[in-house]
Chain A
């Protein structure tokens, strides 16, 4: 199982699901209508490192974080 956490303004509790790559996570989140506005503008981190491809492999216990658009300062 991997854990998906939603940061900042995304008002959503963490999910746990079976996934062997980020592609599997994308498939699940695309079914969720509240996530539609976020999938195209969120960056993705696996275990707190930003990743650039859906081919990123996941293993049991991994944490996937969704980071929506930022504005510090």
Chain B
């Protein structure tokens, strides 16, 4: 089963998407849809920085891979840890499937669930500080038990 690829710093996008293309070339997939996330210049940030908790990220990804396999599809994912400057890329998700419809639907569901569930924390790099992006972050489903929410 393919693993999440984690890199220190920015992703080498051409290398990754070309390699993935080559790796799957013989498997008779009709569709390959990569989603590439690039750091935008906004709010005077110098870049973003990421913490990743790999054990739970891997199990989350493996559960998605099982769903993909049931539809004859395959997922791949790469993410940065540490600093990624503006106009560099920190995230690539990709779906391979026999026909386009499965890949088009799955890339959306996968990227949205990634945003809501994957154990990755984002920080703005601004004035040489690393500031947690609290206002753009989402509590994982079921969060709050220690505070007596449920």
Contacts and interface: CB of A to CB of B under 8 A. Distances in A.
A71 B114 contact: no
A57 interface: no
Given A7-B53, A40-B147, A48-B59, A71 B139 contact: no
Interface string B67-86: 00000000000010000000
Interface residues of B, number: 40
A53 interface: yes
Interface in B100-150: 111, 114-123, 132-134, 136-150
B127 to A, nearest CB: 18
A52 B140 contact: no
Interface residues of A, number: 31
A43 B140 contact: yes
A70 B119 contact: yes
Contacts of A25: 146
Contacts of A70: 115-121, 137-138, 140
B122 A72 contact: yes
Interface of A: 7-9, 22, 25-26, 29-30, 39-45, 48-54, 65-73
Given A41-B143, A42-B144, A69-B138, 11 more contacts: A26-B146, A39-B147, A40-B147, A43-B141, A48-B55, A50-B142, A65-B53, A68-B139, A70-B120, A70-B121, A73-B79
